[in-house]
Amino acid sequence: MNRFDYIRPASIPEAVAAAAEQGSAYLAAGTNLLDLMKGGAARPQRLVDITRLPGLDRIEWQPDGGVRVGAMVRNADLAYDERFAGTFPAVAEALLSGASAQLRNAATVGGNLMQRTRCAYFHDLASACNRRAPGSGCDALGGESRLHAVLGWSEHCIATHPSDFCVPLTALDAVVEVEGPHGRREIAVDALHMLPGATPEQETSLLPGELIVALRLPAEAAAFSRNARYLKLRERTSYAFAVVSAAAALKIEGGAIRAARIALGGVAAKPWRARDAEVSLVSLPASPEAFIHAANLALAEARPSGDNAFKIELARRIVVRALTLALEGTPETMPALPASPLSMNPGVNHVA
């Protein structure tokens, strides 16, 4: 690990000013950043500790039914908040399917949003990686690529985004509040993470020094609470990142689908919103045929980046399964194995 300066600011403006200097990184729980520093994949010159900044650890319900979640709220605290889990069940299910219980107790909302790829070539300093060292190449191309991207990848990078949490957030039109040197602004979660293109080192749309201070879910997202699920296929049921995952949410009225939300995880460098698939379901009776057609649209642009063509068909099936589970209804209680296809806890049918 390289030598670095450590700063503990007393306010958000002070933190932003400190982090605006080149080579700075924000430190929250450190569950991702510290691992990267120990391995040498991240080498910040200064850490700006935001763990004691006031006002970032609150869950605040808005008058219209939406919610504002501070960036320092712990993942476990948010997932187990009874009102939040009842209002945004797919988000809570995604949180509980990620990492271990110990990590969820430490990891924060803001840190989860900002976690970096788990690509082995990014973490291996002996490998060429354009994210870690721009212009060095991408050893994942032509290498061990089984778990890499099938959507939105480029010849410069085929890594995937690891977050479960971000997938339903993207589907439900969540936004982040950002404080920076030029004031406060909002960014849709769908626009926060960037596809690699020719500049994979630019992983997010944040500007230097900008700090995520809160996450907001709109009141409109609560309308999907009765028919919303997150489904994650992984190589072991506990403590593993998604091979593929999907968030699906439906609004059912009079036996027909009035609105749909679909996003995929594990398939691209960002959570992948399937808007064409959503539109295809509107006004249709819910049926296996409609779900299969939506899944085909969701993966219409997919192409293998190596030895991972199987992920395309797997992702189609996960979309169909997630939509089917959403149609059955949000479970009255969280499944014993959140987001797992192996869970035997059936949904409660709110449609019949």
Beta strands per DSSP E along 189-342: 211-217, 228-234, 242-253, 256-265, 272-273
Whether 14 maps to a domain, the answer reads yes
Residue 352's pLDDT is 37
Domain that holds residue 15: 5-52
Whether 203 maps to a domain, the answer reads no
| C-alpha dihedral (231, 232, 237, 238), degrees to nearest 10 | -100
Alpha-carbon distances, residue 148 vs 23, 33, 129, 151 (angstroms): 29, 21, 14, 9
Token code pair at residue 16: 């932003």
CATH of the domain at 33: 3.30.43.10
Whether 319 maps to a domain, the answer reads yes
Q: What is the widest separation between alpha-carbon atoms in the chain? A: 63
Dist. CA 41–CA 273, nearest whole Å: 29
Q: List helix spans (H) across 82-188.
A: 82-87, 89-96, 101-106, 109-114, 120-123, 166-171
Q: How many domains does the chain have?
A: 2
Whether 246 maps to a domain, the answer reads yes
Q: Which amino acid is at 287?
A: S
Whether 316 maps to a domain, the answer reads yes
SS in 3 state form for 337-351? CCCCCCCCCCCCCCC
Whether 173 maps to a domain, the answer reads no
Residues 322/265, Cβ–Cβ less than 8 Å = no
Residue-wise pLDDT for 25-73, tens only, equals 999 999 999 999 999 999 999 999 999 999 999 999 999 999 999 999 9
Residues 251/260, Cβ–Cβ less than 8 Å = yes
Q: Which amino acid is at 20?
A: A
Residue-wise pLDDT for 175-220, tens only, equals 999 999 999 999 999 999 999 999 999 999 999 999 999 999 999 9
Whether 247 maps to a domain, the answer reads yes
Which residue ranges of the chain lie beneath pLDDT 70?
345-352
Sign of CA dihedral 104, 108, 112, 117: negative
Residue 239's pLDDT is 83
CATH of the domain at 317: 3.30.390.50
Dist. CA 100–CA 115, nearest whole Å: 15
Q: Which amino acid is at 88?
A: F
Dist. CA 330–CA 347, nearest whole Å: 6
Sheet containing strand 175-180, edge to edge, reads 59-61, 67-70, 211-217, 175-180, 183-188
What is the DSSP secondary structure assignment for residue 212, as one 8-state letter? E
Whether 100 maps to a domain, the answer reads no
User: Dihedrals φ, ψ of 201, to 5°?
Assistant: -70, -20
